[in-house]
Amino acid sequence: MMQSVAPPCNACGEQVGLDANGEIFVACHECNFPVCKACFDDDVKAGRKLCLKCGIPYDDSSLADYETKVSGTRSTMEAHLNSSQDTGIHARHISSVSTLDSELNDEYGNPIWKNRVESWKDKKDKKNKKKKDTPKGEKEAQIPPEQQMTEEYSSEAAEPLSTVVPLPPNRITPYRTVIIMRLIILALFFHYRVTNPVDSAYGLWFTSIICEIWFAFSWVLDQFPKWSPVNRITFTDRLSARFERDGEPSELAAVDFFVSTVDPLKEPPLITANTVLSILAVDYPVDKVSCYVSDDGAAMLTFESLAETSEFARKWVPFCKNFSIEPRAPEFYFSQKIDYLKDKVQPSFVKERRAMKRDYEEFKVRMNALVAKAQKTPEEGWTMQDGTPWPGNNPRDHPGMIQVFLGHSGAYDIEGNELPRLVYVSREKRPGYPHHKKAGAENALVRVSAVLTNAPYILNLDCDHYVNNSQAIREAMCFLMDPQVGREVCYVQFPQRFDGIDRSDRYANRNTVFFDVNMKGLDGIQGPVYVGTGCCFNRQALYGYGPPSMPNLPKAASSSSCSWCGCCSCCCPSKKPSKDLSEAYRDAKREELDAAIFNLREIENYDEFERSMLISQTSFEKTFGLSSVFIESTLMENGGVAESSNPSTLIKEAIHVISCGYEEKTAWGKEIGWIYGSITEDILTGFKMHCRGWRSIYCMPLRPAFKGSAPINLSDRLHQVLRWALGSVEIFLSRHCPLWYGFAGGRLKLLQRMAYINTIVYPFTSLPLVAYCTLPAICLLTGKFIIPTLTNLASALFLGLFISIIATSVLELRWSGVRIEDLWRNEQFWVIGGVSAHLFAVFQGFLKMLAGIDTNFTVTTKSAEDTEFGELYLIKWTTLLIPPTTLLIINMVGVVAGFSDALNKGYEAWGPLFGKVFFAFWVILHLYPFLKGLMGRQNRTPTIVVLWSVLLASVFSLVWVKINPFVSKVDSSTLAESCISIDC
């Protein structure tokens, strides 16, 4: 009972345990940092006599106890280490069987599982003997090498690698106060609105009340997740001091980069090449970097462009590292309008730069020649240099292809230095198999990289997002490799920054408010959402495991609902768990897998039947697929490939794991890897990780880590927003909807859930938004209004509401550093996207998910004559342009009609007109960027857009005059009497 209330060890996750006096063991009496006796002994043995948290040396009494225990049990420990590979309850048994041996022994059973079963049986036979000879606290704990520190480390290396900087009270306190005040004012405002209907226009009033209630609900979902924003600071110098010591191999963790591309004619190979070159030249140990390029279109153009890129990398990489070039994408480096001689002291720099620029221009010529050649496909298909047909001539029916362009053998630059790996991957495609688009391609890369390199961390980038900061990986490692922080982190998300956007950012392409305000707020809760690119993952989190130290589930949750899926208990054993087994039941549906991998220390408590169930190879194959090599890689928490592995055999296994039928009857896309079921697989994948108890980190270095390109013309931007909104609707209609998924276990915090709910319900705001933008025109055309005559109290409520809205925005700008122009652009495009792309996404999502009808909105490009930002003024016809154009026309017509009516009625009509016109101008001002983009610099608009919009506005006006449902009917007898009384 005493052990059950002891805190878990911060290093291994076990109970801290008791000391010789029967009290809870305390290693550091200054900060009481929870460390178990085994981890403490291992730290002292390795020479780390400082507390990891506060840095204060351990007291003499603790060290004296350690010396006494070690001298008395040294012979026992040596015998134990020589007799078994299992070096303690904290160690993970990792099989060292090579791939070739696994294949030779398949008929006798997989040796991975055989060795593990035998080791567990030996462990049980020696259970009582170990307890007598070696107390629990004397067992040696094996800590991953990247988390070890020796006594020679400087005091700086022992300090934390990152720190959280909360907002100062003078900024966050007024912000929270205004939020609460605004909430109170909203409650009073709705009380007034509901209790004071407009009898003469009841329909208009009721419609406006519904819209306003939804807007208030949306504001709550968006505002409260920003309750505790934080900033973070990283210390890359401490990272180097801890893991990169002079004269010793680097102990930094390896990273696998994923770059995905589909169509080289839409995604230019030169842009992809720049992304790859920036990865190969990153400031990180070359033996720790591998770049995997996924060609989901099986295009020979992509293959040949990567061959050219690998050759140019031999010159570009040493140039970047010799002269500390930033950014390390040549296209963007040479296009910088800066003085490149500034701060360059090397005499040879000017000469080298000129030579490199000439080489890059020649590289571009070769790449453009490949693109020009690929414009027309030969009738017989493409052939390779040896005369054999290109396997990917049919992009929908081709075998899997892997080509290692740069590897350890012969991968050297012109100076004789080793280069990072570069691997081309095109997964198998066959008719009749689901391929799941980008999510399926990313999962294929996960398996390929696990077989070939198996780095513990994965960083994925879009093909048009290059590395802008060569230190970006080190920034992420400051979180992931920190022993205090990294154990609970599933991924580190970087903000997206973009090139090639006009200075005014007319369509809010930079998404500054989202990346600089919302994401900082989420970082103070459970972490930012995954946004699809620029994200460094913990590979174990992608495999569906929970964090090593996770709060125990209540017994009711363990027995009645599944914390993994949050909806059923059919996957949970009926046996009632004991207190010692509560950690093994933390993932009810996946307890077999987690217990076999993470909870080896608990295996002694199971009987023979349960043990055989936990370690069965079948359970792993049902989860990960039929590949013993890949399954073995999942057991390596710290990554790496067995030294005895045969490279040719690994390539064959890599081809196997990207076959189109590999994922059948497995958990890929359901519980592990990138999650299927939505075109916005990024939101879904991050949501599942947070539901398991992981947290994420938002990293914003001073120099942006990655930069990419964004669609800057109106039509492309709307289609991008349509795709995102459609994905949110798909999640809303799926079993993973945050409204009901993942409640078991309570691992997803309330404010984090609110943020995820906001990400999937925001498209539905389009319905009340369209209605609300139509109300001003209706009021002006009918002479009615949605608000009755204002009293003093009502005027005070309206004034307080507007002041609170302004105050919230001003204080938000103050703590976030966002410009007011960015906030206004975001507000404008919220209306533009809401009345167009979001509206279509709602209808398209329901048609697709409920009726199986997939609709497409075609885009037709017209030419633009402007050279600078010429794409901004491209005119593209798309159906999405019709609703906002119609709203603009009817509101303009309404303003004209309102002024005409006021002129006819005289002075008394001007007072009520002011509120209606203000309401209409609110709509027009928010749609102004759309109007400007629609007209273009040449003041040209697609004729069909104008015709459709005028037609819809005319039909609406005629129907309104005929039906007029919101205006009270006039009695005909009263009208006749009034006519008689008129003296003509």
The model's pTM: 0.76
In this structure, what are the phi and psi dihedrals at residue 389, rounded to the nearest 5 degrees?
-65, 145
Task: Assign 12 a pLDDT band (cuts: 50, 70, 90).
Answer: low
Give the pLDDT of residue 678: 87
Inter-residue contact 201 to 785 (CB < 8 Å): yes
Give the pLDDT of residue 603: 41
The candidate with the shortest Cα–Cα distance to 642, out of 244, 86, 85, 101, is: 101
Give the pLDDT of residue 477: 94
Superfamily of domain 1-67: Zinc/RING finger domain, C3HC4 (zinc finger) (3.30.40.10)
203-245 pLDDT, tens digit per residue, is: 889 999 999 999 999 999 999 999 999 999 999 999 998 898 8
Neighbouring-strand partners of residue 260: 294, 462
| Distance between CA atoms of residues 479 and 459, nearest Å | 14
CA distances from 470 to 49, 282, 320, 971 (A): 34, 5, 10, 78
The candidate with the shortest Cα–Cα distance to 394, out of 428, 438, 371, 441, is: 428
Instruction: Enter the tokens of residue 714.
Output: 């109106």
Inter-residue contact 880 to 836 (CB < 8 Å): yes
The candidate with the shortest Cα–Cα distance to 417, out of 401, 429, 406, is: 406
* pLDDT at 523 > cutoff 90: yes
* pLDDT at 322 > cutoff 50: yes
Give the pLDDT of residue 91: 29
Amino acid at the residue 422? L
How many Cα neighbours within 13 Å face the side chain of 554?
9
- Tell me whether the omega of the peptide bond preceding residue 327 falls within 30 degrees of 0, making it cis: yes
Inter-residue contact 112 to 628 (CB < 8 Å): yes
Average pLDDT over residues 816-839: 91
State yes or no: 260 annotated in a binding site. Answer: yes
**32-46, 56-70, 478-492: segment of lowest average pLDDT:** 56-70
Average pLDDT over residues 135-149: 42
The candidate with the shortest Cα–Cα distance to 257, out of 542, 544, 537, 658, is: 537
Percent of the chain predicted with pLDDT > 90: 35
Neighbouring-strand partners of residue 522: none
* pLDDT at 390 > cutoff 80: yes
DSSP, res 490: E
Average pLDDT over residues 817-838: 91
* pLDDT at 658 > cutoff 60: yes
Inter-residue contact 928 to 828 (CB < 8 Å): yes
Give the pLDDT of residue 973: 54
Instruction: Enter the tokens of residue 818.
Output: 């966002």
3-state secondary structure of 41: helix
- Helix or strand run (H / E) with residue 322: helix 300-323
Q: Residue written as tokens 């480096």?
A: 333
Residue 704 CB neighbours (<10 A): 17
DSSP, res 58: P
Give the pLDDT of residue 256: 95
Burial class (CB in 10 A: 0-12, 13-18, 19+), 213: middle
State yes or no: 263 annotated in a binding site. Answer: no
- Helix or strand run (H / E) with residue 491: strand 489-493
| Distance between CA atoms of residues 206 and 197, nearest Å | 8
Give the start-to-end residue ranges of the domains of the chain. Answer: 1-67
* pLDDT at 299 > cutoff 70: yes
Give the pLDDT of residue 490: 94
**HEC string of 98-143?**
CHHHHHHCHHHCCHHHHHHHHHHHHHHHCHHHHHHHCCHHHCCCCC
Inter-residue contact 229 to 431 (CB < 8 Å): no
3-state secondary structure of 255: strand
| Distance between CA atoms of residues 515 and 795, nearest Å | 36
- What's the mean pLDDT when you consider all of the chain? 77
| Distance between CA atoms of residues 640 and 95, nearest Å | 12
State yes or no: 335 annotated in a binding site. Answer: no
In this structure, what are the phi and psi dihedrals at residue 232, rounded to the nearest 5 degrees?
-130, 145
Instruction: Enter the tokens of residue 690.
Output: 């947070």
15-35 pLDDT, tens digit per residue, is: 777 776 667 778 787 677 777
Instruction: Enter the tokens of residue 365.
Output: 């010529």
Give Cβ neighbours of residue 621 (< 8 Å, ≥ 6 apart): 631, 666
State yes or no: 470 annotated in a binding site. Answer: no
Instruction: Enter the tokens of residue 349.
Output: 């720099």
Inter-residue contact 269 to 371 (CB < 8 Å): yes
**328-342, 529-543, 718-732: segment of lowest average pLDDT:** 328-342
Give the pLDDT of residue 499: 87
Give the pLDDT of residue 879: 82
| Distance between CA atoms of residues 278 and 325, nearest Å | 10
How many Cα neighbours within 13 Å face the side chain of 451?
29
State yes or no: 438 annotated in a binding site. Answer: yes
Percent of the chain predicted with pLDDT > 70: 71
Q: Residue written as tokens 């110098």?
A: 237
Give Cβ neighbours of residue 819 (< 8 Å, ≥ 6 apart): 512, 813
Which residues have a catalytic role annotated?
296, 682
Task: Assign 48 a pLDDT band (cuts: 50, 70, 90).
Answer: low
Task: Assign 609 a pLDDT band (cuts: 50, 70, 90).
Answer: very low
State yes or no: 373 annotated in a binding site. Answer: no
How many residues comprise the chain?
Answer: 984
Average pLDDT over residues 894-917: 75
Give the pLDDT of residue 964: 52
Neighbouring-strand partners of residue 412: 418
State yes or no: 462 annotated in a binding site. Answer: yes
* Beta strands at 706-709 and 497-499: parallel, antiparallel or unpaired: parallel
Give the pLDDT of residue 765: 94
Give the pLDDT of residue 732: 93
Q: How far apart are the first and last CA of the chain?
A: 102
Q: Residue written as tokens 């402007």?
A: 866
| Distance between CA atoms of residues 456 and 412, nearest Å | 24
Inter-residue contact 46 to 150 (CB < 8 Å): yes
* pLDDT at 482 > cutoff 70: yes
